[in-house]
Amino acid sequence: MSLSRRNDELWIEGCNARALADGHGTPLYVYSRAAIESAWRAYDQAFAAHPHLICYAVKANGSLAILQLLARLGSGFDIVSGGELARVMKAGGDPARVVFSGVGKRDEEIEQALEAGILAFNVESEPELERIARIASARGERARISLRVNPDVDARTHPYISTGMKENKFGIDIHAAEALYHRAAAMAGIEVTGLDFHIGSQLTELDPLADALSRSLALVDRLEAAGITLEHLDIGGGLGIRYRDEAPPTPAALAERLGPLLEGRPQTLLMEPGRALVGEAGVLLTRVEYLKSGHREFAVVDAAMNDLMRPALYQAWQRIETVAPEAVPARAYDIVGPVCETADTLGAERSLALRPGSVLAIHGAGAYGFAMASQYNARPRPAEILVDGDTAHVIRQRESFEDLWRGETLLER
């Protein structure tokens, strides 16, 4: 296993977690290379019977070294900004394996993507389609596009990360998409190549995905009958991970569930997993600064909501444990950070044996951890470590105070 206990101490592959915290300081993000590569290969093997492309959702964790690992495996990438495209290319990713999602693509981002030669734009509205057509035509090109249809399917997940219902901002109503496909097919500057949907994140059931695919395939068949042939089907991502007691489906279970629907279909299948590839591969290490008793027991740690936003933003629960045993009684602590917000609680009422200096590991931190980190309260962002066997690579240096004001200027008078 990539994360294990040896003599009751936490190890990440062949590296002792306490030694990493002592050697590199805290807060500290630590990722397992083996876990990331194993998760990617599980998708690749599960869908081996069907032409496919795994397009990692860069928003989950865009660290260059992680993108580099995935590019070396042959991964594609799902991006939502020009900055993410730049990161993918810096890491050695192939732009011809990139799909560009997102509801607010700017002119310069569309130009950038056309210049790079991406696989497809996932178009989320009629005005966006018109903008892409205008820009591509002016360049004398045809932009490859998919329409992101909104199938109005309840993903049964947190409302903040549900994206496939008609009240969500994402995608084009599936009932309006057919007419827009016909319009797109007639546009100069546009080449219609695919259909895309993405119904949400942290999915723990397969029926919503199968329902969304069934509705989308009915549209594909109507388009085919009208002479609009698609090259690929993009089913998005969203498979969950285990934070607490969830039992998310595996890629193999997903392939088995969707297989009968895809049988005989010539289109290449695109998938956009993010959290499922990196979430469980990462931990955030943090050190206890103070133990504060009163109406509640507080453990004040050196990590905060600016380092890990999910608990404050989503009221998310992530497992927290000590990396080594402490010879003191366990108590029910609220694990809180130093940021001046009551929301700065990383975990409430956790039974832990703690003393000042104890090192904690917050699990499931590989996705939407550092990616959502900020410098709020003028706190430099943490370092990132990638563990490969018994070697720990520093893949991002801890920020300095100077990094806090990089790019700023003082007034001359």
Q: Which residues are annotated as a binding site for substrate?
A: 275, 310, 314, 341, 368
If 0-12 CB within 10 Å is exposed, 13-18 middle and 19+ buried, where does residue 225 land?
exposed
Question: 247, 340, 378, 410: which is the annotated catalytic residue?
Answer: 340
Binding-site residues from annotation = 238, 272-275, 310, 314, 341, 368
**Of 324, 265, 231, 340, which Cα lies nearest the Cα of 50?**
265
SS (H, E, C) the chain: CCEEEECCEEEECCEEHHHHHHHHCCCEEEEEHHHHHHHHHHHHHHCCCCCEEEEEEHHHCCCHHHHHHHHHHCCEEEECCHHHHHHHHHCCCCHHHEEECCCCCCHHHHHHHHHHCCCEEEECCHHHHHHHHHHHHHCCCCEEEEEEEECCCCCCCCHHHECCCCCCCCCEEHHHHHHHHHHHHCCCCEEEEEEECCCECCECCCHHHHHHHHHHHHHHHHHHHCCCCCCEEECCCCECCCCCCCCCCCHHHHHHHHHHHHCCCCCEEEECCCHHHHHHHEEEEEEEEEEECCCCEEEEECCCCCCCCHHHHHCCCCCEEECCCCCCCEEEEEEECCCCCCCCEEEEEEEEECCCCCEEEECCCCCCCHHHCCCHHHCCCCEEEEEECCEEEEEECCCCHHHHCCCCCCCCC
Strand 268-271 and strand 232-234: pairing? parallel
Would you call 340 a catalytic residue per the annotation? yes
* Segment 409-412 long-range contacts (CB within 8 Å, at least 24 positions apart): none
| Residues catalogued as catalytic | 340
